[in-house]
Amino acid sequence: MKYDIIIVGAGPGGIFSAFELTKLNSNLKIAIFEAGNPLEKRKCPIDGVKVKNCIKCPTCAIMNGFGGAGAFSDGKYNITNQFGGSLYEYIGKNEAIDLMKYVDEINLAYGGEGTKLYSTADTKIKKMCLENGLHLLDAQVRHLGTDINYVVLENLYNHLKDKVEFFFRTPVEKVEKNGEGYTVITAGGRYDCDKCIISVGRSGSKWMETVCNDLDIPTKSNRVDIGVRVELPAEIFSSLTDELYESKIVYRTAKFEDLVRTFCMNPHGAVVNENTNGIITVNGHSYEDPEKHTENTNFALLVSKHFSEPFKDSNGYGESIARLSNMLGGGVIVQRFGDLVRGRRSNTERISEGYVTPTLAATPGDLSLVIPKRILDGIIEMIYALDKICPGTANDDTLLYGVEVKFYNMEVEIDNNLETRNKGLFVIGDGSGVTHSLSHASASGVYVARYIAESMK
Ligand SMILES: Cc1cc2nc3c(=O)[nH]c(=O)nc-3n(C[C@H](O)[C@H](O)[C@H](O)COP(=O)(O)OP(=O)(O)OC[C@H]3O[C@@H](n4cnc5c(N)ncnc54)[C@H](O)[C@@H]3O)c2cc1C
């Protein structure tokens, strides 16, 4: 089988590459190989009743399949260069923002119309943060919500399905150089192409490493983010979330001068499990539909750990901490803030007597047995700092779930066209280590598609 272009991975990066390629040249023969299921077949078995915890399915419905890790995400498209990746370092700040805006237009045209665009510009919140040692980062945020995000993906799939050949449940095992082009190898066959775009996200990080080893592509890996997910009554954060929806706030701790930051804020949302390579960590999402709102808001507090030589396995470090919580709690651990600062574990009674009802069935326990002291001290400091702008954040009943780990793919060496040193082989999205978000991953897909379409004219 011979294609002009093969795309590996049908997450936002892969989808937007295909969208733009088919738009610019309808004659191109394109195939997408995806390890997971089509959208409608992606069902996580955890129902909270019969199946309470992750049963480690062969392909994770949350992380794999059409839509990628973003399919059941909160659908927050942040239009900014201040976080979400460093795409701008490769393609320039203006181009990066223009592409994120273009992605936003497509999302609106494919089902997202009517959703709200929030902005941090000209808000009093920024001043209030500064007065309390907190720094609010600038961004525009399109909140599609998990439900509308799904509709957009459905519409994008219907648009693409007759223009592109999809191979679902077909993990690519190997990519080989084949003359000027590449051969993509799966359990079922070998497929040749002139250009290959790899967009395998975080779940494909281990596989990406093997591709880089096989094709002699340099990589570097030195960062992992570790922290907790905070859950509290939505009213406590409403002064922020009503106006901004998502606020990225950074705090420099007094004790160690470490940076702690808020991440992925979900007003009226739910805390969920995340399975990365069999390790259970915590995440969160929320729905646009008010009927699906919960009474709580959740967000992560994360500390970045950067390592220097000779240590190279930053993800391994994060995994070990997550494994420890899995060992102690059988999965994610939940603890009341009041219990944490009093140095005692939470138990079922204390959690059920609290005024915050957990939205995730996690195991009550003691996060201080899992999270390194320096990181935990920073998180506690930041909770007290946030309490000054959102009184109630440091209440005893505030719930902390752990651990939340943001694994960063190792950074693949690519040039300003997002092309590896092997000409015709592109690595985009979170799998490249360059992006860490829906908007940046999608924008990288459009960028590469335009470059390839131009070069194949
Ligand atoms: C629960 C959750 C909530 C999130 N919420 C947000 C949010 O609100 N806003 C935001 O900006 N970001 C959010 N994110 C992050 C966001 O989803 C990712 O940044 C984004 O999906 C990255 O896109 P991608 O295309 O690079 O990779 P992915 O979306 O991870 O897609 C990669 C695809 O490649 C496939 N794949 C992997 N290996 C192979 C292989 N060998 N062969 C074939 N296919 C393969 C995978 O199955 C997957 O479908 C969230 C993530 C999660 C898990």
DSSP state of 112: I
Asked if the model's pLDDT at residue 268 lies above 80, the reply is: yes
Number of C-beta neighbours around residue 254 at 10 A: 11
The whole-model pTM stands at 0.84
Torsion of CA 333, 338, 342, 343, to 10 degrees: 10
- Residues 157 and 21: their CA atoms lie apart, in Å, by 14
| 434 Cβ closer than 6 Å to some ligand 1 atom | no
- For residue 74, the ligand 1 atom closest to its alpha carbon is 8
| 156 Cβ closer than 6 Å to some ligand 1 atom | no
Atom 46 of ligand 1 has which residue's CA nearest to it?
Answer: 64
128-134: list long-range contacts, CB under 8 Å, 24+ apart. 128/389, 129/249, 129/389, 132/385, 132/388, 132/389, 133/251, 133/252, 133/385, 134/249, 134/250, 134/251, 134/385, 134/386, 134/389
Asked if the model's pLDDT at residue 410 lies above 90, the reply is: no
| 433 Cβ closer than 6 Å to some ligand 1 atom | no
Report pLDDT for 52: 73
Instruction: Give residue-wise pLDDT tens across range 228-242.
Output: 999 999 999 999 999
Instruction: Give residue-wise pLDDT tens across range 8-40.
Output: 999 999 999 999 999 999 999 999 999 999 999
DSSP states along 152-183: HHHHHHHHHTTTSEEETT--EEEEEEETTEEE
| 70 Cβ closer than 6 Å to some ligand 1 atom | yes
Classified as helix, coil or strand, 349 is helix
| 445 Cβ closer than 6 Å to some ligand 1 atom | no
| 85 Cβ closer than 6 Å to some ligand 1 atom | no
- For residue 66, the ligand 1 atom closest to its alpha carbon is 49
- For residue 70, the ligand 1 atom closest to its alpha carbon is 17
Burial of 50 (0-12, 13-18, 19+ CB in 10 A): exposed
| 273 Cβ closer than 6 Å to some ligand 1 atom | no
* Per-residue confidence band for 194, with pLDDT thresholds at 50, 70 and 90: very high
| 65 Cβ closer than 6 Å to some ligand 1 atom | yes
Instruction: Give residue-wise pLDDT tens across range 142-156.
Output: 999 889 999 999 999
Atom 26 of ligand 1 has which residue's CA nearest to it?
Answer: 429
Compute the distance from residue 205 Cα to the ligand 1 centre, in Å.
11
| 285 Cβ closer than 6 Å to some ligand 1 atom | yes
Compute the distance from residue 122 Cα to the ligand 1 centre, in Å.
32
| 14 Cβ closer than 6 Å to some ligand 1 atom | yes
Q: Does the N-terminal peptide bond of residue 310 adopt cis geometry, omega within 30 degrees of 0?
A: yes
Locate 45 and state its tokens: 């078995």
206 or 370, greater pLDDT:
370
Atom 4 of ligand 1 has which residue's CA nearest to it?
Answer: 73
| 146 Cβ closer than 6 Å to some ligand 1 atom | no
How much of the chain is helix, strand and coil, in % rounded to 5? 35, 25, 40
Measured CA distances, 31 to 16, 128, 262 (Å): 13, 51, 38
| 263 Cβ closer than 6 Å to some ligand 1 atom | no
Instruction: Give residue-wise pLDDT tens across range 334-377.
Output: 999 999 999 999 999 999 999 999 999 999 999 999 999 999 99
DSSP bridge pairs for 244: none
Compute the distance from residue 63 Cα to the ligand 1 centre, in Å.
6
Atom 12 of ligand 1 has which residue's CA nearest to it?
Answer: 437
Asked if the model's pLDDT at residue 276 lies above 80, the reply is: no
- For residue 207, the ligand 1 atom closest to its alpha carbon is 41
Instruction: Give residue-wise pLDDT tens across range 59-89.
Output: 888 899 999 997 988 899 999 999 999 999 9
Asked if the model's pLDDT at residue 313 lies above 80, the reply is: yes
| 284 Cβ closer than 6 Å to some ligand 1 atom | no
Report pLDDT for 324: 95
